[in-house]
A and B are shown apart, each in its own frame.
Chain A
Amino acid sequence: EPEVTQTPSHQVTQMGQEVILRCVPISNHLYFYWYRQILGQKVEFLVSFYNNEISEKSEIFDDQFSVERPDGSNFTLKIRSTKLEDSAMYFCASSGAGGDYEQYFGPGTRLTVT
């Protein structure tokens, strides 16, 4: 069964460093998403991406964040200058043509900022 994959599974970085989290969505999906879950808190929407541009973003997704689909398979989330409060589990998701349902999630990348 096709699945969303994410790398790395765990990333440790120092405050102020840039990180790139990588995702490979399901191959025929058209909509891509990033969510985060701070330990012990809710899953929060960050951004959605369609047709090579951001279609929606939350207030969490400020200028420190960017997303890119550099080729036909990868979808990345970049955090320019990490802060301690960026420590969280980051989930990538993708969905098919409908865009609004059946979002399939990856296993997540645990980001620890020290």
Chain B
Amino acid sequence: GEDVEQSLFLSVREGDSSVINCTYTDSSSTYLYWYKQEPGAGLQLLTYIFSNMDMKQDQRLTVLLNKKDKHLSLRIADTQTGDSAIYFCAESIVGNNDMRFGAGTRLTVKP
């Protein structure tokens, strides 16, 4: 496909794990990112992964990369109400300054 694609909505219960999925477009994409956008706020870089990695873990966040399928996921362990936000997947290629974003997944965490 031509676009970075994400499902638009995800709803989980507090304490559960959330998994947000993304498919990206370019197998030569070098960096893949997850950004968080809270209401009225800017984009906050959560984590990124270099394309020669399969997994990256940072506290409650785990990023998994499947290069063959061009699939990226973000797992949030022990999801809290403060995690409610829109999560954007993005890709960039070395030597190319633009980033391509998905449409964002709205995560709703219910108490």
A: residues with CB less than 8 A from B are 4, 6, 31, 33, 35, 41-45, 48, 50, 55-56, 58, 91, 93, 99-108
Contact = CB atoms under 8 A, between A and B. Distances in A.
A21 to B, nearest CB: 13
B43 A105 contact: yes
Contacts of A93: 43
Contacts, number: 60
Given A43-B43, A43-B88, A108-B42, A103 B104 contact: no
Contacts of B41: 107-108
Question: Chain A at the B interface: mostly helix, strand, loop or mixed?
Answer: strand
Nearest to A107: B42
A99 B95 CA distance: 9
Contacts of B101: 42-44
